[in-house]
Amino acid sequence: MSTLELEHCIGGVYTIPKSLHLHPDGRQLASIAGASVVLSDISDPHNQAFLQGHIGSICCLAMSKNGKYIASAQIGDDADIFVWDFAERKLLHKLSQHEHGISCMAFTEEGRLLVTIGDQFDHRLFIWDMKTGNVVSNVQILPNGTASIHQEVIERRPPPQPSRMTASTAAPKGGNVGTNPAEIGFCDVQWGGHARDIKRRETSDLIFATVGPNVSLWTLTPATGELKQEKFVHQQGIRHFTCVGFTSDGEKLIAGTSSGDFVALIIRTLMLESITQACSNQIRSLLVTPSGQVLTGGGDGTLTLFRPQGKQYISQLKKQVGNYKDNAVSTGKDGIKGDGGSGVTARYAVTSITNAGNREDKVLCATADGTVSQIELNDFKQTLIQFSHSGPVSSVSFPFDVNDKFATSSHDDDTIRVWDLSTYDAISTCILPRMHPSCNTWVGECLAVGYTDGVIRFIDALEGQVLWTLVDAHRNGCTAIQGSSDSAQIISGGELGELRVWDVRKRKLQTHMKEHGQAVTNIKLFADNKHAVSGSKDRSMSCVDFSVERRLSTFKTRASINGLTLLPDEKRVVTVHSDRSIVYWDLSMADPIRIVNDAHSEQLTSVASAHDIDLFATGSVDHTVKLWNSDGKNLGEFRGHSGVVNNLVFSPDDKQLITVGDDGNVLVWNVF
For residue 451, being part of any structural domain is answered with yes
The residues facing 434 across adjacent strands are none
Which of these, 560, 515, 559, 507, lies nearest to 533 by C-alpha position?
Answer: 515
- Structural domain harbouring 356: 283-388
For residues 9 and 48, is the Cβ–Cβ distance under 8 A? Answer: yes
* Distance (Å, whole) CA 505 – CA 466: 16
Query: Cα(169)–Cα(172) distance, rounded to whole angstroms?
Result: 8
- Distance CA(65)–CA(480), nearest Å, equals 49
SS (H, E, C) 591-647: CCCEEECCCCCCCEEEEEECCCCCCEEEEECCCEEEEECCCCCEEEEEECCCCCEEE
User: Using one digit for the tens of pLDDT, what is the confidence trace for 644-653?
Assistant: 999 999 999 9
Q: Do 549 and 417 fall into the same domain? A: yes
Separation between Cα atoms, residue 87 and residue 168, nearest integer Å? 44
Residue 592: pLDDT over 50: yes
CATH number of the domain that residue 528 is part of: 2.130.10.10
Rg (CA), the chain: 28
Domain-embedded: residue 230? no
Shared domain check, 603 and 543: no
Same domain as 367, residue 459: no
Read off the pLDDT of each residue in 238-258 and give the average, rounded to a whole number. Answer: 92
| Residues 469 and 601 both lie in one domain | no
- Distance of CA 51 to CAs 135, 458, 616, 667, Å? 24, 40, 26, 15
Judge whether 640 lies within some domain.
yes
Distance CA 634, CA 592 (A): 18
Residue 362 placed within a domain: yes
Residues 407 and 541 in one domain: yes
Contact call for residues 147 and 126 (beta carbons, < 8 A): no
Beta bridge pairs of residue 28: 41
Q: How many residues does the chain have?
A: 672
Residues whose CB is less than 8 angstroms from the CB of residue 176 and which lie 6 or more positions away in sequence, other chains included: none
Is 120 in a helix, a strand, or coil?
A: coil
pLDDT per position as a tens digit, 296-338: 999 999 999 999 999 999 999 999 987 644 333 322 323 333 3
405 with 348, same domain? no
Which residues are CB-neighbours of 397 under 8 A, at least 6 positions away?
406, 407, 440, 441, 442, 447, 649
Burial 134-155 (b: 16+ CB within 10 A, else e): eebbbbbbbbbbbbeeebebee
Q: Does residue 275 belong to any structural domain of this protein?
A: no
Residues 6+ away with beta carbon under 8 Å from 238: none
pLDDT band of 45, cuts 50, 70, 90: confident
**pLDDT of the residue at 391:** 85
- How many structural domains compose the chain? 3
The burial of 359, by beta-carbon neighbours within 10 Å (0-12 exposed, 13-18 middle, 19 or more buried), is given as middle
Closest CA to 657 of 5, 47, 188, 97: 5
- Summarize pLDDT for 140-182 with one digit per residue, the tens: 987 666 665 344 444 433 333 333 333 332 332 223 223 332 3
Query: By C-alpha distance, which of 410, 419, 416, 365 is closest to 392?
Result: 410
In a domain, 636, yes or no: yes
In a domain, 506, yes or no: yes
> Residues 99, 105: contact at Cβ < 8 Å?
no
Q: Which of 522, 556, 590 is at the close of a domain?
A: 556
Backbone angles phi, psi at 32, to 5 degrees: -105, 135
In angstroms, the CA 189 to CA 218 distance is: 10
Q: Is 666 within the bounds of a domain?
A: yes
Q: What is the pLDDT of residues 337-395, one digit of tens each?
A: 333 333 333 357 999 999 987 788 999 999 988 889 999 999 999 999 988 888 899 99
pTM score, two decimals? 0.84
* Vertex 244 angle, CA 240 and 245, to 5°: 160
Q: What is the DSSP letter of 381?
A: -
**Is residue 232 predicted with pLDDT exceeding 90?**
no
C-alpha–C-alpha distance, residues 651 and 512, integer Å: 30
Closest CA to 371 of 352, 358, 388: 388
- Pairing state of beta strands 226-234 and 152-154? parallel
CA dist., res. 451 & res. 386, Å (int): 27
Residue 456 near residue 467, CB atoms below 8 Å: no
Q: Is 301 exposed, middle or buried (0-12, 13-18, 19+ CB in 10 A)?
A: buried
DSSP annotation of 539 reads S
Is residue 548 domain-shared with residue 645, that is, in the same domain? Answer: no
Could you give the CA distance from residue 151 to residue 142 in angstroms, rounded to a whole number? 11
Shared domain check, 649 and 660? yes
Summary mean pLDDT of the chain:
88
Confidence of residue 278 (pLDDT cuts 50, 70, 90): very high
What's the rounded Cα separation, in Å, for the pair 446 and 460?
A: 5
Q: Cα separation of 101 and 80, whole Å?
A: 8
| CA distances to 134, 167, 232, 272, 524 from 235, in Å | 39, 10, 9, 10, 65
3-state class of 182 per DSSP? helix
First to last CA, the chain: 8
One domain for residues 310 and 361: yes
Indicate whether 366 and 456 sit together in one domain.
Answer: no
Beta bridge partners of 572: 586
Q: Are residues 346 and 418 in the same domain?
A: no
Domain's final residue, options 525, 556, 587: 556
pLDDT digit string (tens) for 197-224?
888 899 999 999 999 988 999 999 999 9
Q: Quick one: 540 and 639 in the same domain?
A: no
pLDDT in tens, 512-527: 999 999 999 999 999 9
Q: What local confidence, expressed as pLDDT, does residue 100 receive?
A: 84
Q: Is 664 exposed, middle or buried (0-12, 13-18, 19+ CB in 10 A)?
A: buried
How many other CB atoms are there within 10 angstroms of residue 452's CB atom?
A: 17
